[in-house]
Amino acid sequence: MSVEKEVLEKEQYIENYIKSMVALEDCIEPFQEQKRDLRKEYIENGWLQKDEIWAAVRAYRLLSKDADFEQLNDMYKHIQKRFFGGV
Q: What pLDDT is stored for residue 86 in this prediction?
A: 64
pTM: 0.65
Q: Are 6 and 13 in contact (CB under 8 A)?
A: no
Dist. CA 79–CA 61, nearest whole Å: 20
Has residue 21 got a pLDDT over 90? yes
**Band of pLDDT at residue 7, cut at 50, 70 and 90:** confident
- Domain layout of the chain by residue ranges: 3-84
Each residue's pLDDT tens digit, 25-76 = 999 999 999 999 999 999 999 999 999 999 999 999 999 999 898 998 999 8
Distance of alpha carbon 55 from the chain centroid: 14
